[in-house]
């Protein structure tokens, strides 16, 4: 029998489709967005917004990071962006263990390659990782603005929280930073974000 050693990984990642995020989808009966379709949307948005990157990025590496960045949620679950610091620290440990397990399903060399790439994304120190992470964080701004404040309004999020979360854009993609500033001010005026 022909063996495809990647098959276990391909099967495993199917589970990301069951990981629910706080964001709800206006086009699909307000069901919660899952992390697989979110990853697709971030990847596609990053492609379309690549020219806004201030530093040179390898968009192929950016897209790859985005496609894999949420896989750890299969074990660790999704944490709402504005949970407390202690929760985030515990989550980081869970996510590292998850990354080792899930990329460990791949042939050794391939698994190591993607584990390293995931760690690079998490550290957010290279241009590619910083841009990838910025895309992951800015997409909900587009989505919530289109959806009367969406998850912000429900969770009583403030403008400052959104700006803090997107602060990387200042150096990473300044025009998008301006956009986020203006859009979140608009959201405050509309009562979708706390001032």
69 vs 133, which CB is nearer to a second copy?
69
CA distance 105 to 107: 7
Q: Is residue 124 within the footprint of a second copy (CB under 8 A)?
A: no
Q: What CA dihedral angle connects 108, 114, 117 and 118, to 10 degrees? A: -110
| Dihedral over alpha carbons 77, 83, 84, 85 (to 10 degrees) | 60
Report the Cα 165 to chain-centroid distance in Å: 12
| Nearest approach, Cβ of residue 133 and a second copy (Å) | 17
Q: By CB under 8 A, name the one of 128, 136, 143, 166 that touches a second copy.
A: 143
Kindly tell me which residue out of 57, 63, 102, 157 binds a second copy, with binding defined by CB under 8 A. Answer: 63
CB 35 within 8 A of CB 70: yes
Instruction: Select from 13-21, 92-100, 118-126, 158-166 the region that touches a second copy (CB under 8 A).
Output: 13-21
Query: Which residue among 68, 99, 102, 132 contacts a second copy (CB under 8 A)?
Result: 68
CB of 10 to a second copy, least distance (A): 5
Enumerate residues 20-39 that contact a second copy by CB under 8 A: 25-28, 33-34, 36-37, 39
* Residue 20 host element (H or E): strand 20-25
Residue 55 Cβ, how far from a second copy at the closest point, in Å?
19
DSSP sequence for 113-147? HHHHHHHHHHHT-SHHHHHHHHHHHHHHHHHHHHT
The secondary structure of residue 106, as a DSSP letter, is S
CB of 177 to a second copy, least distance (A): 9
Closest CA to 154 of 41, 29, 21: 21
Binding site for a second copy (CB under 8 A): 1-2, 4, 6-7, 9-11, 13-18, 25-28, 33-34, 36-37, 39-41, 43-45, 47-49, 52, 59-60, 63-64, 67-68, 106, 110, 139, 142-143, 146, 175-176, 178-179, 182
């Amino acid at each position: 029998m022909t063996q495809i050693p990647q098959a276990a990984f391909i099967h495993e990642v199917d589970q990301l489709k069951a990981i629910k995020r706080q964001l709800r989808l206006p086009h699909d009966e307000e069901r919660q967005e899952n992390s697989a379709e979110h990853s697709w949307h971030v990847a596609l948005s990053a492609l379309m917004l690549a020219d806004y990157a201030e530093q040179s990025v390898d968009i192929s590496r950016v897209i790859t990071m985005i496609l894999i960045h949420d896989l750890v949620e299969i074990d660790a679950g999704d944490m709402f962006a504005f949970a407390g610091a202690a929760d985030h620290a515990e989550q980081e440990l869970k996510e590292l263990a998850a990354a080792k397990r899930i990329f460990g399903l791949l042939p050794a060399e391939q698994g190591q390659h993607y584990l390293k790439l995931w760690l690079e994304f998490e550290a957010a120190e290279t241009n590619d990782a910083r841009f990838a992470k910025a895309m992951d964080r800015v997409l909900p701004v587009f989505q919530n603005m289109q959806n009367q404040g969406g998850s912000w309004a429900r969770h009583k999020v403030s403008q400052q929280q959104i700006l803090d979360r997107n602060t990387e854009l200042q150096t990473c993609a300044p025009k998008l930073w301006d956009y986020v500033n203006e859009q979140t001010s608009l959201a405050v005026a509309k009562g979708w974000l706390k001032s």
